[in-house]
Structure 1
Amino acid sequence: MANSSNSSLKSDALLDQMKQHLSTDAGKEIAKKVGYVYQLNISPKKIGTDVVVYTIDLKKGEVIKGPYEGGKPDATLSFKDEDFIKIALGKMNPQMAFLRGALQIKGSISAAQKFTPDIFPKPAKL
């Protein structure tokens, strides 16, 4: 796979928007309400392969590319790029994704249950 550019995930754009979103008042409200740290392991094609790691820290209200530095995240969520987008945009139910194996969760299930489309900005388009 010579042409696997550093990262050409659709998720990159969404997580960039998320980063902007968390600096707004609406974003700060969400961070206050949720208060968990999520590590996202996003794979282009198959869960666990060519993983790109992001941290959504809703304690501090920030999005970081890379693993969580402050100990252990409350929940680590693994999915394929397209499934993450579907979940974030509300096109796929996170519980259904989990049951179908499209979403893998490590850590706190109660934290994972707060990982819903509500925490994401509504994108104009991706």
Structure 2
Amino acid sequence: MAAADSSNLKSDAIFEQMKQHLSTDAAKPLLQKIGLVYQIQIAPKKLGFDEVIYTVDLKKGEVTKGPYEGGKPDATFSFKDEDFVKVALGKMNPQIAFMRGAMKVKGSLSAAQKFTPDVFPKPSKM
């Protein structure tokens, strides 16, 4: 089997939408309320393997691919691609994902708890 191609992650589209969402005026209150930096590691199939890292900076309102450059993130999440998509789309509760081991958290748990569904852009209604 070939190595996982990171561009095949379903999560990529969500991070792209999040990047656009955070650059709008609608996101400003969210940034003021949270003001933390998260690193999110997405594994194609199995946690800890071939992970793609995203930084979600809720101080600056930026989403970038790659590890956080400005020190330590406030919290780091690890997900399998499909589980991240479920949480992002509101199909899986983050607490349940954590309890089931579908989401791992490093860093500040209080910071992690502020990473709520509000951070994700609402799916556009058709």
Q: Please, what TM-score do these two structures have when normalized by structure 1?
A: 0.93
User: Partner letter of residue 51 of structure 1?
Assistant: E
**Residue aligning to 1:28:** 28
**Residue aligning to 1:110:** 110
Query: Equivalents in 1 of 2:6, 2:76: separation in Å?
Result: 22
User: Partner letter of residue 46 of structure 1?
Assistant: K
Structure 1 residues 50, 33: CA separation in 2 closer, same or farther (over 3 Å shift)? Answer: same
90-99 or 25-34, larger mean C-alpha shift: 25-34
Cα RMSD over matched residues? 1.3
Q: Please, what TM-score do these two structures have when normalized by structure 2?
A: 0.93
Whether the 8 Å CA contact 2:4–2:50 is kept in 1: the answer is no
User: Partner letter of residue 67 of structure 1?
Assistant: P
How far the C-alpha of 1:28 sits from its partner, in A, is 2.0
User: Partner letter of residue 10 of structure 1?
Assistant: K
SS in 2 for 1:15: helix
Count of matched residue positions in the alignment of Structure 1 and Structure 2: 125
User: Partner letter of residue 62 of structure 2?
Assistant: E
How far the C-alpha of 1:26 sits from its partner, in A, is 1.2
User: Partner letter of residue 57 of structure 2?
Assistant: D
Structure 2, unpaired ranges of 5+: none
How far the C-alpha of 1:59 sits from its partner, in A, is 0.7
Query: Equivalents in 2 of 1:94, 1:22: separation in Å?
Result: 20
